Amino acid sequence: MNAELREDVAALEDTVRRFTLERIVPNVERWEEAGEVPRSLHREAAALGLLGMGYPEALGGTPAPYALRNALSVAMSRHGGSGGVMAALFSHNIALPPLLRHGSEALQREVIPPVLRGEQVAALAITEPGGGSDVAALCTLARREGDEYVIDGEKTFITSGVRADWITVAVRTGEPGTRGSGGISMLVVPGDARGLERTRLAKMGWHASDTGQLRFDAVRVPARYLVGEEGAGFRMIMGNFNGERLAMSAMALGFAEACFDEALAWARERRTFGTALVEKQVIRHKLVDMQMRIHSTRAWLDAVTALADEGEIGI
């Protein structure tokens, strides 16, 4: 990382730390209980440029390397942005990249700017009740009828699925009943489309993020909502997963740092048998071991991020 980028990272970390401590931490428990974050949080994050990082200026974003985007994720998760808040706030970062890379200019202009302004929410729907890892087996069907696609099927575990104004949906446009990576396409579906039924799922954590079950019953969307070419969806999805993996790794690193910060603070504060916990050799070993694992994770993340910024990873 060169000196200029290091300065940008430090400035961004400071902005994100302040935003997280002032705007998220005082409210996070309430939002986790309510099961969602307010729309106003999206607008506040957008005003600081946090939603638009990595998107072109012409669409309302700020071009930024992965090094900066990851710094945002690490800093927010380290300073108190819960996994649920972050999933809710940033679900567009898995929903929009396929459009950005493969969508028509008109589709990009319709969908992306209002999301980056924090006025609308975007979600990505790939997983189905029949299975998630095996993307080539998805069977939600979209058949072409004139200038429209008609979608039938079901999706599950969709982050922001119930609140989303736009959902990037993986569908099978090939022959019904076929499987395999060919014949998968990506369509953008408005959240209020007729025939789309959305139900919230209960889950063990990430409560501030809505996780939805979607049922498509003859949902019609204009054919211009197709992202890229028909049948090219599988490669788009695989590339998109790489970007998501990078962001999730950055979040995991930030959460590990938060755990270390709290463990160290408690070990300094808590006294047993006449001394603070941190004075005990076994506790010091444990803390050093945590710190070593955090440092090696950061080194790995930095190395992979550098490869992504050099264009060496298909995203």
Ligand X SMILES: Cc1cc2nc3c(=O)[nH]c(=O)nc-3n(C[C@H](O)[C@H](O)[C@H](O)COP(=O)(O)OP(=O)(O)OC[C@H]3O[C@@H](n4cnc5c(N)ncnc54)[C@H](O)[C@@H]3O)c2cc1C
Binding site for ligand X (CB under 6 A): 123-127, 131-134, 157-159, 206, 211
C-beta of 133: minimal distance to ligand X in Å? 3
CA-only gyration radius of the chain, Å: 21
In the complex with ligand X, the residue whose CB is nearer, 65 or 81, is 81
In the complex with ligand X, the residue whose CB is nearer, 114 or 132, is 132
Cβ atoms of residues 109 and 60 within 8 Å: no
In the complex with ligand X, the residue whose CB is nearer, 157 or 255, is 157
Cβ atoms of residues 267 and 260 within 8 Å: no
C-beta of 256: minimal distance to ligand X in Å? 19
Nearest to 69 by CA among 247, 239, 241: 247
In the complex with ligand X, the residue whose CB is nearer, 41 or 167, is 167
Position of minimal CB gap to ligand X: 132
Which tokens belong to 283? Answer: 């506790």
Amino acid at residue number 190: P
In the complex with ligand X, the residue whose CB is nearer, 2 or 133, is 133
In the complex with ligand X, the residue whose CB is nearer, 241 or 260, is 241
Residue with tokens 């009740």: 129
**Taking the C-alpha atoms of 44, 45, 51 and 52 in order, what is their torsion angle to the nearest 10 degrees?**
70
C-beta of 270: minimal distance to ligand X in Å? 33
Q: How far apart are CA 130 and CA 139, in angstroms?
A: 9
Rounded to 5 degrees, what angle do the CA atoms 245, 153, 135 make? Answer: 30
Cβ atoms of residues 35 and 85 within 8 Å: no
C-beta of 1: minimal distance to ligand X in Å? 30
C-beta of 9: minimal distance to ligand X in Å? 27
Amino acid at residue number 32: E
Measured on CA atoms in the order 7, 10, 15, 16, is the torsion positive or negative?
Answer: positive
C-beta of 156: minimal distance to ligand X in Å? 7
Cβ atoms of residues 68 and 137 within 8 Å: no
Residue with tokens 């700020």: 62
C-beta of 196: minimal distance to ligand X in Å? 15
In the complex with ligand X, the residue whose CB is nearer, 133 or 275, is 133
